[in-house]
């Protein structure tokens, strides 16, 4: 299921464990690329700042198409996943690679702030293509 942020909804602890932490890709009909970092948006439907974050994440998803995967977790539905990830407030965005958190952003941020974070992770992983 696609969320308002444009990412895929993580709907179970097992799905988070398999797709984000163990990096085993997604479902058969919509696989995640295990070679790409995963941007995880922790949010809730009632959260105003989360609603403001959705279009920013959607723009980043388009900008970094084929460079990152994007998933969303409702903290109302999966509070234990949020707790285990160290999420104390929402929205929180975490960038994972190979099961490890590479960066965390808390709160509603501008597109350029999130883009810098994604660039840094891609650069650290040697996946950022330099523009000429």
DSSP string, 35-92: TS-EEEEEE-TT-HHHHHHHHHHHHHHHHTTTT-EEEEEETTT-HHHHHHTT--SSSE
- Nearest-angstrom CA–CA distance, 10 and 77: 10
Nearest to 50 by CA among 58, 38, 34: 58
Beta bridge partners of 72: 9, 41
Residues acting as catalytic residues = 47, 50
Nearest to 110 by CA among 49, 67, 66: 49
């Amino acid at each position: 299921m696609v969320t308002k942020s444009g990412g895929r909804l993580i709907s179970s602890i097992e799905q988070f464990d398999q797709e984000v932490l163990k990096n085993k890709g997604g479902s058969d009909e919509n696989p995640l690329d295990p070679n790409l970092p995963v941007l995880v948006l922790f949010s809730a439907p009632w959260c105003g700042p989360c609603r403001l974050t959705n279009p920013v994440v959607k723009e980043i998803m388009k900008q970094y198409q084929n460079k990152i995967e994007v998933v969303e977790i409702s903290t109302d539905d999966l509070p234990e996943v949020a707790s285990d990830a160290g999420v104390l407030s929402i929205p929180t965005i975490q960038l994972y690679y190979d099961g490890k958190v590479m960066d965390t952003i808390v709160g509603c941020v501008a597109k350029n702030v999130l883009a810098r974070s994604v660039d840094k992770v891609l650069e650290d992983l040697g996946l950022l293509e330099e523009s000429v």
